[in-house]
Structure 1
């Protein structure tokens, strides 16, 4: 009697890496900074960091509010002092002296100028944040660049040697 059987020959398993490396756009940080310079918060939206947009507008809005408030108070005390010098009756007549009106003008002028500088600084910080965030989005942290400790045994005295290797794979 002859027995015939078919046997299936195992096929080798082929594993293919299907992940594609994203190409880097070298102009992305510049574009993000440009967008933030045009409209504050637009660079953060370009970087898909939407949670930063309310912070940008809150900071800039606060700076603009204090600038306008101090400017209004500065002009209020300045106009009152001008009316008083011209011999008229101002809104602070009998309430503040001339020296107090001059001092209040100086204080509110200084606070107004400081508010302006802080607001401009926050605007520049918005642009820098968009640029740096776009750079960090392109930061490559994968297994092709790794830093691993390397332990091996010395053949002469059988003690463990410690080394550090930097491997870059193409």
Structure 2
């Protein structure tokens, strides 16, 4: 174990001692970069708009295809909440009537323990649906913010990422590395 740590430390120091070549940028006449103005407040605006009205931040980012997804997620969760809440109240009211001695309800085929079990089932699902409404609402805000941040990054064809083999000076073996280049 100690020997492995020593060898890894030597290899790390050998990597640090390698000669670092400065990045030289050679301008090319064939490719011209356009100056793009960046609005640093755009992500916070998109998040604010999504907080005010879900989907409005996506409209601000001009990603209109995401608006139906936002409303489908939140709407489905709200529908599930309402459905489970109604079922919970129906079973709860039936159980309360049973305690009062009334047995002519719509659940006359169920005993008291089944009514309690159904109440717990629909209450748990109702609470989970309420939690999902909150999660999808927050996710809507975060997505609008992140999308506005990502729109400010340069993703043109002049950026490239390619694997590269680098020779280790200590062991004279080839190490796999990644080279990032920017062509102007």
Alignment equivalent of 2:71, drawn from 45, 50, 57: 57
Correspondence for 1:12 = none
Alignment equivalent of 1:45, drawn from 59, 62, 67: 59
Correspondence for 1:5 = none
Alignment equivalent of 2:136, drawn from 105, 122, 126: 122
Give the deviation of 1:55 after TM superposition. Answer: 0.6
Distance 2:78 2:117 in 1: 23
SS of the equivalent of 1:51 reads helix
Correspondence for 1:70 = 84
Preserved contact between residue 80 and residue 90 of structure 1 (Cα < 8 Å): no
Structure 2 CA distance for partners of 1:132 and 1:93, relative to 1, 3 Å:
closer
Q: How many equivalent residue pairs?
A: 144
Distance 2:83 2:162 in 1: 58
Coordinate RMSD, CA, aligned: 2.9
Alignment equivalent of 2:114, drawn from 77, 100, 110: 100
Correspondence for 1:9 = none
Alignment equivalent of 2:147, drawn from 122, 133, 140: 133
Give the deviation of 1:119 after TM superposition. Answer: 1.5
Structure 1 residue runs of 5 or longer lacking an equivalent are: 1-14, 151-162
Distance 2:102 2:124 in 1: 27
Structure 2 residue runs of 5 or longer lacking an equivalent are: 1-28, 165-177
Q: 1:3-42: per-residue Cα shift (whole Å, max 9, x none)?
A: xxxxxxxxxxxx9x99752210001011101100110000
Alignment equivalent of 2:38, drawn from 15, 24, 30: 24
Give the deviation of 1:88 after TM superposition. Answer: 2.0
Distance 1:126 1:107 in 2: 28
Q: 1:57-86: per-residue Cα shift (whole Å, max 9, x none)?
A: 011110000000000000000011011101
Q: Which runs of 4+ in 1 moved over 4 A?
A: 17-20, 142-150, 163-169
TM-score of the aligned structures, taking structure 2 as reference length:
0.68
Which one scores higher on RCO, CA 8 angstroms, separation ≥ 6?
A: 2
